[in-house]
Amino acid sequence: MADVRTRIAPAPSGSLHVGNARTALFNWLFARRRGGRFVLRVEDTDPSRARDEYVAGVMDVLRWLGLDWDEGPDLGGPHGPYRQSERFDRHRAAAERLLAAGAAYRCYCTAEDLEGRRKEALAAGRTPGYDGRCRALSQPARAGFEAEGRPAMVRFAVPDGETAFVDLVHGEARVEHTQIEDFAILRSNGLPLYTLAAAVDDLEMRITHVIRGDDLFAATPKQILLYRALGAGEVPVFGHVPLIVGADRRPLSKRHGDVSVEWYRDHGFLPEAMVNYLALLGWSPGDGVTERFTRDELVAAFDMAGVTRHPAAFDREKLTALNGEKIRALEDPDLAARVEPFLVSAGVLAGDPTGEQRAMLARAVPSIRERLARLDEAPAQLEFLFHDVSPDEKASAAIARAGTILGDGLAVLEAVASWEAEALQEALQDWADRAGIKRKDAFQPIRAAVTGRLVSPPLFESLELLGREVALARVRRAAP
């Protein structure tokens, strides 16, 4: 077989679903592991649903995941164009070749005809499906339909026999052609259906491996029949990966919550975590092998032999835990740079933060690293450093319960000579122990006064970051 060429072919009708992202990842890993090429092809055969903003959104998400493509709508390439809507003439030409060769025929059945026969089949206990009526039309009958201007779709004439193929996940498969109806390949308006468009484009783009979801397994014999009828010397190798399901073991969908990758990106998940987690949905590196990978390590480890046949359960809690691990592994400057857009989006920082603000952020990120499961949690934890916050409801209640404790704590803070976390910790702990106050009860109202919340970065680091004057002013304002 020629050099490996895989593709991802999303339909631009919405945001990229985590299942499609996992499929893209497997194709990307397969190509990168073998030194092949990864192709992005936009399958916009349905103009009523395709939107340019969706195309841009899909490309943005793939870039965010780090799944770079070698050929595509933006890059071009030797086998373009890479949008199916720009290839309709090729699809229609292919249909004409099939008609000329007798491998396809025009079908004049109306939607009402087809629905009536479907109901008849169900009533008689037969499996509904196209009965091949127009395949046997006489020439006079065809001429009559043409004369009256009746619209006609094009159907593929399924030959006798069987189709056999070896799937990279399922192994050998054989399908008797008696199980396949003469399927439509070109609508009466001249637009191609997916099966024809995908087959034509796969051949012209020299795709060698098609890795896709299990839900398309049943369509594979049809595509192989088309490949061969169109003159393919060697058809692509297929690998059907397990579907992603929710906790109820049903295919993942909006009823399980947010399923678009864009949502996870916008809510503070790292691409490193998303890629690592998606790779493990339906693939295993083997017993005793770590399941924590960088992108380069995944390329080195990935093999289709490790893909299971069983549905893979998507667990947001596990993804969130892994995301926290990846956050803690970031270097401080990297973490600060990734947190900054979320602070801007939340209004904690302006669109173009000052050098002083960035310096404060750089000093603050070590104190929140262990407390972040998602980057979008950072604004709530760091707002007190950039704005004069007021205590929220829970913080106000803690201050009210404190009585004289807050005033006593203020006196201790005012006496601290060196405004550094270690010295502040020593002074406050000594005071609480001598006064017989539980440390939590002593520190909580001070935290509430300076950060406005009961959950914040560590108290002593927060006091140091705020600085003596600002911190003392907030405690004085809250003290009775």
Which are the catalytic amino acids? 254
Q: Is the dihedral of CA 442, 448, 453, 458 positive or negative?
A: negative
Rounded Cα distance between 198 and 192, Å, is 9
Burial class for 356, CB neighbours closer than 10 Å (0-12, 13-18, 19+): exposed
Instruction: Identify the residue whose tokens are 């990297």.
Output: 334
Note whether 91 and 186 are within 8 A (CB): yes
Q: CA neighbours within 13 Å on the CB side: how many for 337?
A: 5
Query: Residues with Cβ < 8 Å from 311, sequence gap 6 or more?
Result: 242, 243, 244, 245, 249, 282
Strands 171-176 and 184-186: unpaired
Q: Would you mind telling me the total number of residues written for the chain in this entry?
A: 480
What 423-426 contacts at long range (C-beta under 8 Å, 24+ apart), as own/partner pairs, is 424/460, 424/463, 424/464, 425/460
> What separation in angstroms does the CA of 112 have from each of 5, 76, 116?
42, 43, 6
- The angle subtended at Cα 394 by Cα 389 and Cα 396, nearest 5°, is 60
Tokens of 278: 């998606």
DSSP symbols for 138-199: -HHHHHHHHHTT---EEEE-PPSSEEEEEETTTEEEEEEGGGS---EEE-TTSPBPHHHHHH
CA distance 445 to 267: 30
φ, ψ for residue 164, nearest 5 deg: -120, 140
Measure CA of the first residue to CA of the last residue in the chain; give whole Å: 81
